[in-house]
């Protein structure tokens, strides 16, 4: 695994994030080891740096992305930040469509990168942002390069080739269960595929909000949403629904009992991890925590 100390640019810092072992939360399962993949260590602050970089690089390689093009996509926030950071470094303009109810911190971060942000109807969630991004692309396709993160195969491929390999190496091949949230589906699909290529017995568990209207930024309730083209539910070994308030409470518990400040989707993932742990006699569960909590301090979870 590449040493971060060898990095030369901000983009070289993407990936190779640490695993952190939980000490208190989950202590009721002494024969279960719970490790979390700390994706907020990426320079853009989230797991989305990985697929955003891969999709941009593949766009350049194919010739579809050049300095005359504007990078356009929809996002609930983290991918937008990743695009904006990468575009700032590589000299591209970005146009990003996001639901209007994204956190104030996200807005300020994107403003710092001088990203052009279009806000969509918050009641339509990420689906409204998806539709608006596609409308803009169809209106002026020659202006834009649209990675389309929900349907771009290089989204899960980034995780298959990096996240999964890191987890395998960091656990010395002892991982038995992967737990990750569903947004685009890229993390759980790609990381799951990469791990199962090493050991087909590894269980892949996805976590989603229990309700269509929820406050878990970055996550999708699949039954009521546009299903991403990269998502295949049949691949999963299990899917767990988490109530918003339970995810919020677990997010607060992580800060207060483990000293780990993360976003609400990480709280949802930990809820899923503990449900899985309750089904096992022994095992090594790795949960992917998508981002840190600094982008959510003005949201309802901390009221």
pLDDT bucket at 215, cuts 50 / 70 / 90: confident
Q: Catalytic: 265?
A: yes
* Model pLDDT, residue 283: 98
Higher pLDDT, 213 or 249: 249
For the chain, give every residue range classified as CATH 3.40.50.1100.
Answer: 4-47+162-302, 49-145
At 117-127, the pLDDT tens digits run 999 998 888 89
In this prediction, residue 160 carries a pLDDT of 99
CB 209 within 8 Å of CB 241:
yes
Which architecture does CATH list for 4-47+162-302?
Answer: 3-Layer(aba) Sandwich (3.40)
Residue 189's pLDDT band (cuts 50, 70, 90): very high
Annotated active-site residue in 37, 48, 157, 196: 48
Q: What is the mean pLDDT of residues 41-45?
A: 98
Q: Which CATH class is domain 49-145?
A: alpha beta
Q: How confident is the model at residue 100 (pLDDT cuts 50, 70, 90)?
A: very high
Per annotation, catalytic residue among 76, 126, 225, 265: 265
Instruction: Give pTM, 2 decimals.
Output: 0.95
């Amino acid at each position: 695994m590449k040493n971060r100390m060898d990095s030369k640019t901000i983009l070289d810092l993407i990936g190779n994030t640490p695993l952190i072992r939980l000490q208190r939360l989950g202590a009721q399962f002494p024969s279960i080891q719970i490790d979390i993949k700390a994706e907020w260590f990426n320079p853009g602050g989230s797991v989305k740096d990985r697929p955003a970089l891969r999709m941009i690089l593949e766009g350049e390689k194919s010739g579809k992305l050049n300095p005359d093009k504007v990078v356009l996509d929809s996002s609930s926030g983290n991918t937008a930040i990743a695009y904006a950071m990468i575009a700032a470094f590589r000299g591209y303009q970005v146009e990003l469509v996001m639901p209007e109810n994204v956190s104030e911190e996200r807005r300020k971060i994107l403003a710092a990168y001088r990203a052009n942000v279009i806000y969509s109807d918050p009641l339509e969630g990420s689906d409204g942002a998806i539709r608006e991004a596609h409308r803009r692309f169809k209106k002026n396709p020659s202006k834009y390069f649209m990675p389309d993160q929900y349907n771009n195969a290089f989204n899960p491929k980034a995780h298959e080739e990096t996240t999964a390999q890191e987890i395998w190496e960091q656990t010395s091949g002892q991982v038995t269960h992967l737990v990750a949230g569903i947004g685009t589906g890229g993390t759980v699909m790609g990381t799951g595929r990469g791990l199962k290529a090493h050991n087909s017995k590894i269980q892949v568990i996805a976590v989603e909000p229990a309700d269509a209207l929820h406050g878990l930024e970055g996550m999708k309730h699949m039954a009521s949403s546009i299903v991403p083209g990269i998502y295949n539910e049949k691949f999963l070994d299990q899917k767990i629904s988490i109530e918003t308030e339970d995810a919020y409470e677990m997010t607060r518990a992580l800060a207060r009992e483990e000293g780990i400040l993360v976003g609400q989707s990480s709280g949802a993932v930990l809820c899923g991890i503990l449900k899985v742990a309750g089904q096992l006699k022994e095992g090594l569960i790795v949960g992917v925590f998508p981002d840190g909590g600094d982008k959510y301090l003005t949201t309802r979870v901390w009221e």
